Amino acid sequence: MLHQIGLYVHIVAILLAGAGGIGGAIVEHSFWQKIPSNIDAAKTIFPILKTTGKFIITGILLFLLSGLLMLQSVHWVFLSQPWFLVKFGLFLCLPIRAGLIAETAFMHIGSEIQKDQMDAVLLMKLKSKMRRFHLIQYGIVLTIIFLVIFRF
């Protein structure tokens, strides 16, 4: 029963993190389209990214809790299997990269759009930094899903 509850919550986590990820990507795309022509709209859109981020953080926490629950239900047997160790290592990269890269980039973007004279070059650099960040995060998630299915 513990395993089923864990798997159920794992699926809820996939839904939450997926919703936050897709929603965030749409909002961020529309944010960059408003720069620099419609800065007021960009300022209005920007805080929505905090909300989509909360969905992702909740999903990540649920992944961890439900994953631990399922591990416990199988007496931690996966801890000796390479596919799981790689999955767990990749999983840890997600919040660490978000904290180190996305959070600082968003702080810079947030303060830059408040200025009277925006630094367009800096903003474009931050835009491509975020693009690279997202592409690598998507790659990590796809690799995790590949690992849980094929278990190499």
Q: Which residues bind ligand HEM (CB under 6 A)?
A: 10, 14, 63-64, 67-68, 70-71, 74, 78, 88, 91, 141, 144-145, 148
Question: What is the nearest approach in angstroms of ligand HEM to the Cβ of residue 129?
Answer: 22
Question: What is the nearest approach in angstroms of ligand HEM to the Cβ of residue 26?
Answer: 20
Which residue, 100 or 122, is less far from ligand HEM as judged by CB? 100
CB 20 within 8 A of CB 59: yes
Question: What is the nearest approach in angstroms of ligand HEM to the Cβ of residue 141?
Answer: 5
Which residue, 122 or 148, is less far from ligand HEM as judged by CB? 148
Q: Which residue is nearest to ligand HEM (CB)?
A: 67
Q: What angle do CA 12, 136, 20 make, to 5 degrees?
A: 30
Which residue, 75 or 115, is less far from ligand HEM as judged by CB? 75
Question: What is the nearest approach in angstroms of ligand HEM to the Cβ of residue 47?
Answer: 25
Question: CA 151 to CA 84: how far, in whole Å?
Answer: 8
Question: CA 66 to CA 6: how far, in whole Å?
Answer: 4
Which residue, 124 or 145, is less far from ligand HEM as judged by CB? 145
